[in-house]
Amino acid sequence: MFTKKNMLYISFFFAFIGILAVIDTLYFGREESFNLTRQIPWGMHIAGYVFFVAISTGLCLIASIGHVFHLKEFEQMSKHLILLSIITLFAAFFVIGIELEYPTRLIIYAIISPNLQSPMWWMGTLYSLYTVLLVAEFYFLQQKKFKLAGILGLIGVAADIIAHANLGALFSVARPFWSGAFLPPYFIVLAIQSGAAVMVIFLTLIQTHNKLQLTSSIRAGRRLLAIAIGVMFLFQASRMMSSAIMSAPDVYNGAMTMLAGPLKWHFWIGEVFLGMLLPLGLLSKSSDENNLAVYASCSAIFGMFFMRFNHVIAGQMVPVRDYYKLELVDNFLQYTPSFSEIATIVGGLGFTFIAYYYAEKYFKMEREIS
């Protein structure tokens, strides 16, 4: 089932859906195409952006850890992981580019009229720096200048960690439910979990299709994924317990949207079961001889998307004005993503796989182990 060809066909279909989303957005406009409101202005695109950026961050961290600490399991595939990290970062830019009304203005005014107080300005700046470092690292790896690539990798990791922790801070300054010092490290663990899951899937595909022996790397990826899920489980459990037991009303209500409110299925089935319990169960039974780790990774990635979605939406479902509290039946605002919003994320997934497939061919990396 997980052959490269099958994945490529599916990816082209996904990319086609993504193109429909772009046409829909440009033709009808964002107000018509997206189910966003005055009260819930951030939706599926923001969740998707964080999702792709986290994958990119995680892959870069794993690859660079391999470089810096000479861990053979990760180092031997670092070039593939860096390439995939670049591609997922561009998928994130695609998603956020569709969300923003004027993405070009961001580039212009972030330079000529910057606000250094704004976490979003820092996000744009740090991710731009990160993109340049990633591309440069990949270039020097391609040129076999490993020492230079290693130095860039180290700087890249620093920029990457700061950028992703800043993404956590971006949320935490805005709404009560998102606030908390734990959010930046939570984002870093999410990134490692995402990177490990994507790494297991892609390395298994590369091993099968390109006939490379990557057993030790996949095994390391499996272990890293299991550890990251375990840490994430502890993070989420402590977050939910502290929010639901002893927090301010807005934080309590934010947690309740997930525990027992409109996001309960997203949380218990998507985030807890698909994102944590099922992958951990499958990983415990996985071995070098079976493909259970791939299924575990797919489930974990699906669950992690719910995790991002729940995080972004739960923070906004609690109305900031009392008026809404009187008008609402169950005390929460509602949000259901539109076709265009969902299709943009699906398109991003398709783009990622197609771009990787052809980039691997273009850079003649199919049979390459660094």
Q: Which residues bind another protein (CB under 8 A)?
A: 30-31, 37-39, 41-42, 100-103, 105-106, 109-110, 113-115, 117-121, 123-124, 170, 173-175, 316, 319-323, 326
Name the phi and psi angles at 271, rounded to 5: -80, -50
Query: Could you tell me the smallest distance in angstroms from the CB atom of residue 232 to another protein?
Result: 24
Please say which residue, 110 or 280, places its beta carbon nearer to another protein: 110
- Complex with another protein: residue 58 or 184, whichever CB lies closer: 184
* Secondary structure, 3-state, the chain: CCCHHHHHHHHHHHHHHHHHHHHHHHHHCHHHHCCCCCCCCCCHHHHHHHHHHHHHHHHHHHHHHHHHHCCHHHHCCHHHHHHHHHHHHHHHHHHHHHHCCCHHHHHHHHHHCCCCCCHHHHHHHHHHHHHHHHHHHHHHHHCCCHHHHHHHHHHHHHHHHHHHHHHHHHHHCCCHHHCCCCHHHHHHHHHHHHHHHHHHHHHHHHHHHHCCCCHHHHHHHHHHHHHHHHHHHHHHHHHHHHHHHHCCHHHHHHHHHHHCCCCHHHHHHHHHHHHHHHHHHHHHHCCCCCCHHHHHHHHHHHHHHHHHHHHHHHHHHCCCCHHHHHHCCCCCCCCCCCHHHHHHHHHHHHHHHHHHHHHHHHCCCCCCCC
Q: How far is the CB of 118 from another protein (least distance, A)?
A: 5
Residue 176 beta carbon to another protein: minimum distance, rounded to whole angstroms: 9
Quick one: 110 or 162, whose CB is closer to another protein?
Answer: 110
The nearest distance, CB 166 to another protein, in angstroms, is 12
**Judged by CB, which is closer to another protein: 106, or 155?**
106
Residue 114 CB, nearest approach to another protein (Å): 7
Q: Which is nearer to another protein, 24 or 137 (CB)?
A: 24
Nearer to another protein, 41 or 216 (CB): 41
Report the nearest approach of another protein to the CB of residue 226 (Å). Answer: 35
- Tell which residue, 348, 249, 360, has the closest CA to residue 308: 348
State which residue, 181 or 260, has the beta carbon closest to another protein.
181
Residue closer to another protein by CB (options 100, 132) is 100
